[in-house]
Chains A and B, each alone.
Chain A
Amino acid sequence: GAVVSQHPSRVICKSGTSVKIECRSLDFQATTMFWYRQFPKQSLMLMATSNEGSKATYEQGVEKDKFLINHASLTLSTLTVTSAHPEDSSFYICSARYGTADGYTFGSGTRLTVV
């Protein structure tokens, strides 16, 4: 149980275009989801916390107008990278709380390459 499905697993896009990444909780309702970014050989960096039905809370230094997060339902959160640039190329990972606050499950990640 407590599975999070993340799509796509890999995406290549041109500079200036937008890319949407989906994160779905398959067998539970996720009131809170988290989005992370990870550069090669570095740890996960939290970008934002997404709460169903309300605006996301962004970490310091993360541009909210560039990384649009929508959490319109209890099973789906999306991250849209707008006007992507090569420096946005990274591994993006979503996470969701389930059950008690002790449970966090992660998606399999999305490898974004901007060319």
Chain B
Amino acid sequence: DAKTTQPPSMDCAEGRAANLPCNHSTISGNEYVYWYRQIHSQGPQYIIHGLKNNETNEMASLIITEDRKSSTLILPHATLRDTAVYYCIVRPPRVAQKLVFGQGTRLTINP
């Protein structure tokens, strides 16, 4: 699986948009970008995934650059409950593969 690089930590004010970057310059053509988050002392939670088009769901938006070498997860109106570690993972779809987690970004939402 392609390697991802994320900043170790970020801060964001409550109510503002939180933009979390992820670099995946070695991504292959069939690899999807997945985002998970882990709130303290809980299991990871799926957020969103995409291949090359931008995606949006009730939790977040995912913006993938045209060359697919980087992406940004956007939480449009961050709340205190969004404080968590956010993981960006790339892997091929529809293959029974394990999810390998990097170090992620520790996002802190400040009141």
- Chain A residues within CB distance 8 Å of chain B: 4, 6, 32, 34, 36, 43-46, 49, 91, 93, 95, 97, 100-109, 111
Most chain-A Cβ atoms within 10 A of its Cβ — which of B32, B44, B95, B102?
B44
Q: For chain B, which range describes its interface: under 10, 10 to 19, 20 to 34, or 35 or more residues?
A: 20 to 34
Q: Report the tally of A-B residue pairs with Cβ distances under 8 A.
A: 53
Q: Choose among B32, B49, B99 the residue that contacts A95 (Cβ–Cβ < 8 A).
A: B99
Interface of B is mostly: loop
List of B residues within 8 angstroms of A93 by Cβ: 43-44
List of B residues within 8 angstroms of A106 by Cβ: 43-45
- 27 chain-A/chain-B pairs, Cβ below 8 angstroms: A34-B98, A43-B85, A43-B101, A43-B103, A44-B44, A44-B101, A46-B98, A46-B100, A46-B101, A91-B41, A93-B44, A95-B43, A95-B44, A95-B99, A97-B96, A100-B94, A102-B32, A102-B49, A102-B94, A104-B99, A105-B46, A106-B43, A106-B44, A107-B43, A108-B42, A109-B43, A111-B41
